[in-house]
Structure formats: structure tokens, C-alpha cells
Amino acid sequence: MKEQLISLIEQALSSLAADGQLPADLQADIKIDRTRDKQHGDLASNIALTLAKRAGRNPRELAGMICDALPDADFIRDTDIAGPGFINFFLSDSSSQAVVKRVLEAGYSYGRSEAGAGQRVQVEYVSANPTGPLHVGHGRGAAVGDSLCRLMAATGWEVASEFYYNDAGAQISNLALSVQARANGWEPGHAQWPEDGYRGEYIAEVAKAYMAGETIDAEDQHVTGAADPGDIEAIRRFAVAYLRREQDLDLKAFGVHFDVYFLESSLYEIGAVDATVARLIDGGHTYEADGALWLRTTTFGDDKDRVMRKQDGNYTYFLPDVAYHLNKWERGFARVVNEQGADHHSTVTRVRAGLQALDKGVPEGWPDYVLHQMVTVMRDGEEVKLSKRAGSYVTLRDLIDEVGRDATRYFLVARAPTSQITFDIDLALSQSNDNPVYYIQYAHARACSVMRKLEDQGWQWQPEEALAHLDSLTEEHERALLKRLDQYPELVAAAARNFEPHNIANYLRELAGDFHTWYNAHKMLVDDSDLRNARVALSQAVRQVTANGLDLLGVSAPESM
């Protein structure tokens, strides 16, 4: 539609130029926008405003000339010049009504596109250390990351989701020491309690299970507690397996699935870490200082060089991370999106710099990052501090249990990732019925309910029949809905392109609002069968788009509430 309109304006401009009314060499970048206010029609162009100066005309005069020169088109009902010189276009009724047919014929596919067809994208998200349960911040990562996967898939990409487990670093050693201390019967504050040990109660549970000889059956590993407080290696393996299982259960409860669980330790096993170091040294990007091996990341835009290998011979977190991303590159992903908390933003420059230093042909801006800001949790009017070491925080499981999976997911994905958000548990609980997610789901349930009512009355709904009478849809509220439905496909494309799933949530809220308003103002099951058919068709189209949108958020679309 927009393309057709742009073409019409191009024709108008060139015919004006041919008549000598406009300079022949006028370059025009024609943009068509959807209008915000229905008084401004359906679509609008600011072309007269942008060309006015170069054309030597005032904008409204130029807009008038363009309108007069515009070829006739049956999808345009009317044009208007408004404000400082906007050209507003009013679509013909049949043109705007046609969206109902498009939606019902496409069904689940409405809004989906092929922009990324034939290309593979990997989305890495959550990637929490197996040192404790998932908290609300991980929940935001899970909600956003999963929705990103769905958006990329909806725009044609072949998507692989991945969870990276840091099971080889100092945090894990710290975890093992903490569990060992608990296994010895010590508590935080005890003289021999490890410095920076994890103090949470769950550590005691891990130790108890280890001492009881429990077996952890996770998807890819089976570990039995050795019940020996002296065997730190056995404790490490058991604790990691135990906490990974807990996290898997959290993610399952949240409805999030990963295609690949990638272990940091596997990078060492396949020699990827050593190979990466060797290549960086060969490339001349490293130097030794203070007994450590450094990478000159400042060559690639970092503000200071980074240690790769510590004095004690171990690698820093950073080095295996570079090896990991090289591994991703070599797996052939055209795009990689890393969804992480904003506290990791300093790794962005470092990882990209490391990849450049490897000189493997990785593009400079690769990979993409989506960094979500922190989630503050309020309970009883006070901020709950998230500290694993202190052991006090709100787990994702708590939230799912208390406010429900759909509401939790919706809340965490409905805001721009760049926005810091406050999750007020008391509010979410006390006003659970006022949560926007129920408002949207209710629109879906209502549309389903109308259909059930039809069947109860013995009506056989024939889609072909209904679509033949869409010209009955002429009420103001119906026009608003038609316009809203029409806008959905480009909204999905933009949300995927910009990594902004929250726009889907906002759209659904508005669509539901339009639907509830219409529902309240006009009966659907009227005696006039043509009108009834048309309205039920519109209702079904709203239902379909609502279901499609909720699916992109990973939120359910109930048929009754």
C-alpha cells in the first residue's frame, strides 16, 4: 500500500517537473507515515514540507500541486492538505476492509515475513552462572531473549537459542568451597567460612543432598553425591549439576527452551582456549607485563588493555569468552544476538576487540548485543536487594508462583530493555486482575466466546460468506480496528529488526482497547445476517492477531476466562 502510494507521488512529481512547474533535478526521498489521529486520514506524507525550500514554493501550495497531479487510484478515497503542508490520504472502504480477509486467510502466518530467510541467527540469553537459583533479572533476560527468538523466527530467520554455562571459572571454585563449608557443618560467620562464600540457604540444601548421596538426573548428566566433604572436585561437580537442574526447572516453569547448552569447560576440552591464545600471540597483539599476558585491546577501541592470562597461569573470564565467540562465528551464524544484563556492558567492546585481533574475518560490529537494564524489586514498600552472596533475593520461581507465568513474562517483556523497571510484588499481586496481560487475554477470550455463542444458537459461520460482506464495516470503531490490524505486519518486522519485543506488547494493549470499545458499542450478533457475518469476521481477525502477537511474547491466549 505504501509502495503504491509512493509510486503515485513519484508520478505526480515527475509530471510536474515535465510541465516545468518544478526543477527537473529535484531529488525526493518520499516517506509515507501512518497517521496518529484519524482526522488526518490513514496515511500521510510530509513530502511537500521537505521539498518546499528547494522547489521555491511554500509547503501548502506545493502540496496542492502534488495532489492535483496525483493519478487516480481506486484505493484512495480522498486526499487532504492539512497543517503546515501534510498530504493526508484516506483509504477507500473496500481497501481498508480487505485486511480482514488477509488476516483470516493467513491465520497464524499473518504478520510473519521472510526478511531473514535462508540466514541463521543465534540468540544467547540468560547464561546465568550455575551458582544459585535464577532471580528476577535473569527472568527479564529469559522473557526478552525468548521473545527475540520468536520475533526472529517470525521474520524468516533460522533461529538457534543458546545458554552458556560458566562452569570453569573462579566463581565455581567459590561455589564448591561454600558447599564444602556447609558439608562440614559450618555457617556463614564461622571462622573457617570461605571469604566471599555464597551465604544463601540453598547452599546448605546442596550440601545436604551431596552428603545424603542423592543423584542428580539432569538432561545431559547424572551425578551422585560422594558424601565426602574432603573431595572438593566431587563437590564441584555435584553442586554444578544440582544448581543447573534447579535452573532448568525454573526455565521450564517459565516456558523457555534452549536448543543448545554450551559449557565453558568444553572450550578447554577441545583446545579452543589454547588455540585462541596461540593465534593472538602469533598476531602480535599480546605482551607480557607484571607476570601476566595482556591483549592489546586498545588497538581495537577499548579504553585499556586486558589481561588474558593471570600471574597464576589461569585465564581470565574474558579469554574463553573470545574463544567462545570465535566458536560461534565458525558455526556459521550470520548474526549472533547476545541478550545480557547491562552490568555486562563492558564485555561488549572487549569481545569485539578480541575477535578483531584474531583476524578471522569477523565484521567489526559483530556480535549484536541487547542489554537490559536492572530490575528493582519492591516488596512491602521496600527495595529487595539482589545479592547472591548475601543470600537475599527474589527468585524467578517465586514470581511465577505468586503472580503467574503469563503476568510475569508480560511485565518483564513489555518495557523497553533500556528502561530500568520496578517490579512491585505487592502491586502485581493485589492488582492481578488489572494487569494489562489479562486485558489482552480477555479480548481473545471474548472473541472466542462470541463464536461459541453463535454455535449455541445453531448458526453455521461460513468464512467465505462472511468475507463477501465486509462492506458492512463502516462504524468509526470498526475503521479504527481495521487500521490497527493492517499495521501489525510492519510492526512485527520493525520489532524484530530493532530487537524491541516490547512494541508487540504495547500494540496488543491498543488492539485490545479498540476491540473492547467496539464490543461495548455495537452488538455483534445482530439480525442482519450480512452485518453479523462481517462483524464476526472482524472479531475473528482480532482474535487471530491477538493470538499471533501473544505467541511472539510467549504468553498464552486463553479461549475463555
Distance set, CA 435 to CA 143, 146, 200, 302 (Å): 17, 21, 32, 43
Closest CA to 329 of 275, 367, 359: 367
DSSP 68: H
Helices (H) and strands (E) in the chain, counts: 20, 17
Minimum CB–partner distance for residue 500 and RNA (Å): 6
Check: CB of residue 213 under 8 Å from CB of residue 207. no
Minimum CB–partner distance for residue 116 and RNA (Å): 16
- Grid cell 480522498 is found at 78
The nearer residue to RNA, 11 or 498, going by C-beta atoms, is 498
d(CA 389, CA 447): 49
d(CA 360, CA 272): 14
Minimum CB–partner distance for residue 404 and RNA (Å): 10
Minimum CB–partner distance for residue 521 and RNA (Å): 6
The nearer residue to RNA, 211 or 267, going by C-beta atoms, is 267
Q: What angle do CA 98, 101, 103 make, to 5 degrees?
A: 110
| b/e sequence 370-386, b meaning 16+ C-beta within 10 Å | bbbbebbbbeeeeebeb
Minimum CB–partner distance for residue 186 and RNA (Å): 22
d(CA 530, CA 552): 33
* Neighbouring C-beta atoms of residue 561, cutoff 10 Å: 11
Minimum CB–partner distance for residue 520 and RNA (Å): 4
Minimum CB–partner distance for residue 213 and RNA (Å): 29
Minimum CB–partner distance for residue 138 and RNA (Å): 13
Minimum CB–partner distance for residue 194 and RNA (Å): 13
The nearer residue to RNA, 206 or 524, going by C-beta atoms, is 524
The nearer residue to RNA, 257 or 497, going by C-beta atoms, is 497
The nearer residue to RNA, 270 or 494, going by C-beta atoms, is 494
DSSP 56: T
User: 332: exposed, middle or buried (C-beta count within 10 Å: 0-12, 13-18, 19+)?
Assistant: exposed
The nearer residue to RNA, 278 or 525, going by C-beta atoms, is 525
The nearer residue to RNA, 41 or 188, going by C-beta atoms, is 41
The nearer residue to RNA, 146 or 264, going by C-beta atoms, is 264
Grid cell, residue 22, equals 518544478
Distance set, CA 95 to CA 32, 78, 491, 507 (Å): 17, 12, 19, 22
The nearer residue to RNA, 122 or 441, going by C-beta atoms, is 441
